[in-house]
């Protein structure tokens, strides 16, 4: 890499997901808060340039953006990929490193759909949201949803979008919300118990029915199941 060429814009984009009120939500940035953008009337995904002074690496940059924009600290972060080209941003050649961040649904962090001052949660429908996004962020969001969905077929990713204690039924519902299809209870529970994903607690979720045992994640890293779920044709 030589130093005397024009450098493209370089930044980080974060697709942050959580589960709330039986739906999958993605964090969007309020268009009015983004001054000077080319399409300021459109919502976009949280993103920002690398801060050469403060960001040690790309991951820290993504975490900082999420913290600054919405005050959130994700339970899990992983890279999705990179988008770059001469035409995706009207200001010129730009490239971004995109992360998927999964947010634990704590009642105090997400009391309603709109929480943070500069960002807002939007329900995911299919592989997008109910509004047009700016730049190429519809494509990026679709890729993020599809990656989250396909990894849900063989990993424990949806567990990161639950509160720290949850029941097996709540975990199954999280998988179903991401996959947009129902799963068979017995098979799901066998799969979970055969892995060492969960540690049982001595507490129970009480209700107008048989109490359900509460569990927490046993590990920080996601679990990979031996076989993918088998989506029917």
Count of residues that bind DNA according to CB under 7 A: 29
How many other C-beta atoms can be found within 10 angstroms of the C-beta atom of residue 48? 19
Binders of DNA among residues 96 to 135 (CB under 7 A) are none
Single out the residue of 184, 199, 201, 219 in contact with DNA (rule: CB under 7 A). Answer: 184
CB of 161 to DNA, least distance (A): 18
27: CB partners within 8 A, 6+ apart: 14, 15, 16, 17, 18, 45, 46, 66, 69, 70, 72, 103, 119, 120, 121, 122
Residue 97 interacting partner from DNA, its own copies, none (CB closer than 5 to 8 Å by kind)? its own copies
198 scored as a contact of DNA (CB under 7 A): no
Residue 2 interacting partner from DNA, its own copies, none (CB closer than 5 to 8 Å by kind)? its own copies
Our measurement of the distance from residue 176's CA atom to the centroid of its chain's CA atoms, rounded to an integer in Å, reads 16
Return the structure tokens found at 201.
């607690």
223 scored as a contact of DNA (CB under 7 A): no
119: CB partners within 8 A, 6+ apart: 27, 28, 29, 30, 46, 69, 70
Residue 85 interacting partner from DNA, its own copies, none (CB closer than 5 to 8 Å by kind)? its own copies
Q: Which residues bind DNA (CB under 7 A)?
A: 167-169, 183-191, 193-194, 205-213, 225-227, 229-230, 232
């Amino acid at each position: 890499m030589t130093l005397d060429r024009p450098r493209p814009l370089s930044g980080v984009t974060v697709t942050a997901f959580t589960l709330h009120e039986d739906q999958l939500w993605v964090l969007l940035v309020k268009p009015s808060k983004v001054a000077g953008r080319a399409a300021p009337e459109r919502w976009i995904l949280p993103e920002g340039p690398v801060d050469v002074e403060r960001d040690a690496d790309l991951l820290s940059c993504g975490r900082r953006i999420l913290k600054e924009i919405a005050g959130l600290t994700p339970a899990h972060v992983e890279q999705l990929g990179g988008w770059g080209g001469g035409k995706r941003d009207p200001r010129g050649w730009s490239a971004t490193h995109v992360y998927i961040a999964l947010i634990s649904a704590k009642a105090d962090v997400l009391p309603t759909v709109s929480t943070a001052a500069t960002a807002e949660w939007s329900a995911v429908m299919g592989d997008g949201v109910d509004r047009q996004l700016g730049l190429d962020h519809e494509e990026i969001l679709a890729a993020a949803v599809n990656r989250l969905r396909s990894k849900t077929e063989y990993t424990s990713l949806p567990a990161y979008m639950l509160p720290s204690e949850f029941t097996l039924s709540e975990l199954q519902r999280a998988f179903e919300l991401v996959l947009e299809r129902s799963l068979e209870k017995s098979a799901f529970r066998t799969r979970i118990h055969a892995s060492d994903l969960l540690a049982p607690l001595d507490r129970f979720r009480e209700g107008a029915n048989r109490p359900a045992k509460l569990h927490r994640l046993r590990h920080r890293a996601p679990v990979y199941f031996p076989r993918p779920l088998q989506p029917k044709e």
